[in-house]
Amino acid sequence: MTSTKLTRVQIGVLTAAFVPMLATGVFGGIGTYSNIGHAYGKGTALGALAAGEGATAVLALVLLGLTMLGQSSPRIVRAGLWALPAAAAAMGAMAAPDPARTVIYALTPMGMSVSAEGMAFLARRIVVHTDGRDAENDRHTADLVQAL
């Protein structure tokens, strides 16, 4: 395997791409906390945030770490990255005080999922570029071979 280093420009552009992704996740969490807090109180909002966005953040860090190490991620991690915010979206929709805000309250937790998936996708591409190997593709190929 050959190793390719990132240029300073590539590092700068990738950093500039990561920052808004991270901010999207953070603001999604803040928005969810605010929405749930107004409906059920701050204590419930904190618990809901930990269970939804907090658990999503843990899974995102696992996915990001595995990707940076050139390893494929377990399917349960990817499933959790969408199931947890989907549950949070349902909870947010139920907390909305009126129909006009239902969609906004439901979409707010999705900032975490998009943020996590976006950062993991970029990390995967960085690993493929620098190492010349795609662990997710290797896993997919192995699954296909085993299915045959």
Is residue 65 in a domain? yes
Is residue 94 in a domain? yes
Per-residue model confidence as pLDDT tens digits over 41-91: 988 888 888 887 788 888 888 887 887 787 888 889 889 988 988 888 898
Domain carrying residue 43: 17-147
Is residue 11 in a domain? no
Q: Write down the pTM of the prediction.
A: 0.70
Number of domains, the chain:
1
Q: Does the pLDDT of residue 2 top 70, yes or no? A: no
Is residue 9 in a domain? no
Is residue 10 in a domain? no
Is residue 137 in a domain? yes
Per-residue model confidence as pLDDT tens digits over 101-114: 999 999 988 887 78
Residue 13: C-alpha distances to residues 9, 57, 125 (Å): 6, 23, 13
Picking from 75, 73, 77, 45, the residue whose alpha carbon sits closest to that of residue 59 is 77
